[in-house]
Chains A and B, each alone.
Chain A
């Protein structure tokens, strides 16, 4: 009996001590947290500090494994390849000292590497570091999801090395890359890269960055699992990494262009909840955050902090032509025309998204004459409800029916649900006889149903893998794994095939534009919905912020705090 009384007392004392220690912390640790809002307290030092938020832990610090926006963004800032994207989203030389010398009629590029490019342990970045990393990227054992980017870039033998059916499968030493000496790198292409004007930009993608062979081998399985288990050659180093909590980037003192890196320290905290991100911004603990439609109205009029950025991601409705009704061209045209896209972007999405009447997003890439891809044909298959109804009735007659029942396969998020509901209401009102059922599915399940062509209409999205219209238009050639809607048009296939080997860039460009017109204006194979936008709130003293349309989202090197 007595014993239990004492233990209770002990518990109470313990509990109290926990709370007391918690309270005492309030006074002690405060100063540190308050001072660092943007710029350290002027007098002591002029250190420029940025506090940013991200939505997830870094899945991969190994640039070759990086396959998600968080990892790619970190890689883009702590490592460096031959090229990097500048503040106009154009590839500029970084690890390479000069533009490559071309041999074999352009099929071989010889790069001179920078003399002053070093890893943060002081060792020089050598040509062998590139060879090692590139071979690792296409190796079977690595199994990185972005190995396909080597095929995109057209590096010699990449397609064969990556194909389990081929004799050359996994023979990574056959890859078209060679170190002539420490500072000379030779890259061979399968075809003349002139037909791929995006080659240099693709080389700025993190999967093409070098890795220090000796270091990687020494770390073995531990490589890039912690901040000190990786070597950095970029503008920043990862100085701190607390898993799931956040990380810190510090200006790399050994970086060759360190004088042009303005911000000294970047703290990134992982915050998944949007309301929390906004509250942190409001209390000065974060300098920038994305906001979704619900919050846009609250900030829209604050011009100094609110901004929207169009992304190059397109959302569209797939129409599965295995379905009898959807195999009818008039029905498809009517479904695409029969709802108000502008109302969806302006009222429901409300985040800078724009209505889409196209496949290749606007402001994504410029053609050989410097004009936007969209300039030639502009909006495709644009019409009004009246026109839609006419086409719809024509289609119904052709089908010999009065009623069509369709199911719309959807994402299971709240916003996608609202979008689908809106489209359903509009279409059922404008196209008499139509009944549209919405079927939300978890993402992975949705992909599976699409792959099996087990759906009627599907809400889908696509972001570019490389900065070229081809990443969009070659999705819908017959037999493409991304076609997934039984669409086939020989004229379309021919145009894409010709375009992918055409070295006259103007012709190539026109072919892709014509193909897009066939896809949407003539065939209404898909119904484009919107080009997604992102709304941000940013502290007014943060300057030169640019979103990249491809690869890592940001280059902090260009950012500044005024």
Chain B
């Protein structure tokens, strides 16, 4: 197991290097400079500004400088926010995004699992139809529609919860709920399909014929086996939510990372684009590793390392 993780770590570093290099050169293809009032700057001013931020150097030199600083742990300073260190910008903003993402993932997964399991166990019943309908709606209607509806009806009309802003737990409810709709729908759909497939397997028939209680059959043999694909999709899904979602953060004025990332791209804030991309990549890679490890725990038949446990 340790050898497996170590080996994966090496791969991860290589992947990260490729991703950051690729992003660096792609980013340099964006038109324009990172300066705000570009249309008002004189040629001399542009020279001075470019010099200050080291943008006059040839791109390979800039690349080398950036990468060597990065290895030393220096991700640079933001162009649009007064030379603020990029690392503090990310740590300040990841908090709200992560809290919201975790809440939405946990809530969405639980509800999704319940719906999916119930639908599969009572196939073609009313529960099944309702759950399927919900899954279709949840996947096809974008989350900002739910967000808008929730904000207007629950926030403005009923005045039950705050319309937006970020000032304590009750401010989390509407954005987390809006985010979780997609999770619920996805998880429910996957779980139902997988459950139905597993229920048709021979070993379930065997288990039943052994005289096991149906709760044991469902819990130990069906759900457990059906969980594998759900875990696979859940990892990336959770990372998407945790690292910030542009639209929901924008609608509910959550001071998170999602909007920052998009904003830095439109403003050509190179260090922020780089750091955020690398941060996202690290999250993804780590989650994929965790998912791989989880496989082994859920289903001992899948032994990622091939060791002799």
Contacts and interface: CB of A to CB of B under 8 A. Distances in A.
Interface of A: 4, 12, 15, 18-19, 21-26, 29-30, 33, 57, 59-62, 65, 67-68, 140-141, 143, 145, 147-148, 162-165, 221, 224-225, 242-246, 269-273, 275-276, 279-280, 282-283, 285, 442-445, 447-448, 465, 481-482
Nearest to A23: B169
Contacts of B256: 244
A9 B119 CA distance: 23
Contacts of A57: 81
Given A163-B44, A269-B165, A444 B151 contact: no
Contacts of B156: 279, 282-283
Contacts of B126: none
B81 A59 contact: yes
A275 B148 contact: yes
A445 B48 CA distance: 21
Given A163-B44, A225-B82, A22 B32 contact: no
B251 A59 contact: no
Contacts of B42: 148, 481
Contacts of A280: 163-165
A67 B49 CA distance: 13
Interface string B254-289: 011001100000101000000000000000000000
Contacts of A140: 48, 51-52
A16 to B, nearest CB: 10
Centre residue among A225, A285, A444, A465 by max chain B CB count within 10 A: A444
A275 B164 CA distance: 11
B134 to A, nearest CB: 20
B38 interface: yes
Contacts of B266: 442-443
Contacts, number: 156
A290 B255 CA distance: 21
Contact of A22 (B31, B51, B166, B173): B173
A225 B89 CA distance: 11
Contact of B250 (A21, A61, A273, A465): A273
B255 A245 contact: yes
B170 A59 contact: no
Contacts of B39: 447, 482
Contact of B82 (A65, A148, A162): A65
B293 to A, nearest CB: 13
Contacts of B260: 244
Nearest to B161: A26
Contacts of A224: 82
B124 interface: no
Centre residue among B33, B151, B152, B170 by max chain A CB count within 10 A: B170
Interface stretch (B15-23, B58-66, B103-111, B185-193): B103-111
Interface in B1-57: 30-33, 35-45, 47-49, 51-52
Contact of B170 (A29, A225, A273): A29
Given A25-B169, A279-B163, A243 B255 contact: yes
Contact of B32 (A29, A225, A275, A447): A447
Contacts of B259: 244, 272
A444 B169 contact: no
A446 B141 CA distance: 34
Contacts of A272: 250, 253, 259
Given A4-B297, A57-B81, A26 B169 contact: yes
Contacts of B43: 481
Centre residue among B103, B148, B169 by max chain A CB count within 10 A: B169
B169 A276 contact: no
Interface string B72-101: 000000001111100001001100000000
B81 to A, nearest CB: 5
B162 A143 contact: no
Given A245-B255, A276-B253, A443-B266, 15 more contacts: A22-B103, A26-B170, A33-B162, A67-B36, A67-B37, A143-B49, A145-B35, A246-B165, A270-B255, A272-B250, A276-B164, A276-B250, A279-B151, A442-B31, A448-B32
B253 A145 contact: no
Given A143-B49, A279-B151, A481-B42, A444 B106 contact: no
B110 to A, nearest CB: 6
B253 A271 contact: yes
Interface in B162-199: 162-170, 172-173
Nearest to B163: A279
Given A164-B47, A243-B89, A279 B82 contact: no
Q: Which 6 A-B pairs have the closest CB atoms?
A: A444-B32, A25-B169, A244-B255, A245-B255, A445-B31, A22-B169
Given A244-B260, A269-B253, A273-B250, A162 B44 contact: yes
Contacts of A29: 167-170
B163 A270 contact: no
A269 B254 CA distance: 10
A276 B151 contact: yes
Interface string B116-152: 0000000000000000000000000000000010011
Nearest to B165: A269
A57 B44 CA distance: 29
Given A243-B93, A275-B251, A283 B44 contact: no
B1 to A, nearest CB: 16
A282 B152 CA distance: 10
Given A269-B253, A279-B155, A444 B164 contact: no
A491 to B, nearest CB: 25
A470 B37 CA distance: 19
A271 B31 CA distance: 28
Given A62-B82, A145-B41, A444 B268 contact: yes
A164 B48 contact: yes
A145 B155 contact: no
A372 B266 CA distance: 39
A444 B155 contact: no
Contacts of A245: 165-166, 255
A482 B42 CA distance: 9
A482 to B, nearest CB: 8
Nearest to B151: A279
Contacts of B47: 164
Contacts of A163: 44
Contacts of B41: 145
